[in-house]
Amino acid sequence: MMLQNFPLLGYLLLSSCVASSVLPRAGDDAGGHNWIDHDKVVPFTQNASPGFDGQLELRFNPNLYVSGGCDPYAAVDSSGNLGAGLRPTGGGRDGCGDGKGGQVYVRRGVSQDRVGIMYSYYFPKVRWAKGDNNGHKHYWASIVVWINRWGCDVDDATSAWPVGVSFTTDHLKWGVAKAGDITFKSSGVGVDMPTRPQIQIHDNAMAPFTGADGDKVYGRDVIGWKSLPDSALQALSDVKYEKTEVPFVDANFQRQLDAAYQESFYGGLSDQQGCVEEATPAEESPSLPTAQATNPVRL
């Protein structure tokens, strides 16, 4: 009887091996959505959130340089199909070195009454050392640009300036740098002054980028939180990765933003720093501090 079952057993083992070679890691759950090859996920064309949110998203969109590991890829398409990722085999860029610009997912929030804009990038795999055990499928990395307003106009995006930047150095771990320790480049949004931080990622860790400019240091196409189609937003909210998480969905966003917050960025600054209300004829208007008015990014 046992001998008669051997062919069936062999078939089952072969089927299992074949299935495991094409399916995502057992701990990754698409939440009822479809996995497709990571390089078949069509990114969204740049589409910031409507109105004021979108102006801020574009104004502070980081220039990202990949110094090692995968390029960022789109994580989801307009139909809600999710990138299946890659096994962490071969070299760090094997199979993931052509992200074609990739995508950056952006959401604005508040922590400790301060405004931060989170920019999140999806990578189909991550490795931090040689060897197939030193990495895993799927990885999300994020940058948070913390901003403050100078002046009285709450609807003027050009009155907002960066005071510091937080960035992931590993899963759920954050590094920080004050604005004075970051190189910024012009955004082309509003006043033509440097507001876009230069950041690099090497495998799993982000850090300020201090190298020379080049065509590999650039901002990825923005898709704003309020511009994501319902199908894509639902897929990103439902997916459960074994080793990482989507940082900007409702279930994770506030916790991640709070972890990234750094009080020292603000150093006693008030919101609407330097705002001087119009004086009555009987009053004298206090003068605006010159250094804050002319060079607010250096804090």
- pLDDT tens, 11-45? 333 333 333 333 444 689 999 999 999 999 999 99
Higher pLDDT, 82 or 270: 82
3-state DSSP helix/strand/coil % of the chain, to nearest 5: 20, 30, 45
Q: Per-residue confidence at 99, pLDDT binned at 50, 70, 90? A: confident
Residue 55 pLDDT exceeds 60: yes
Higher pLDDT, 102 or 162: 162
* The pLDDT of residue 38: 96
Indicate left, alpha or beta for 195 from its phi (over 0: left) and psi (-120 to 50: alpha): alpha
- Is residue 126 classed exposed, middle or buried when 0-12, 13-18 and 19+ CB atoms within 10 A define those classes? buried
* The pLDDT of residue 277: 60
Q: Which residues pair with 140 in a beta bridge?
A: 122
Give me the mean pLDDT over the 219-245 stretch.
98
pTM of the model: 0.83
The answer to whether the beta carbons of residues 218 and 102 sit under 8 Å apart is: no
Strand runs (DSSP E) across 114-252, as ranges? 114-127, 135-149, 160-170, 173-178, 184-186, 194-202, 205-208, 222-224
CA distance 8 to 4: 8
How many alpha carbons fall within 13 Å on the CB side of residue 260?
35
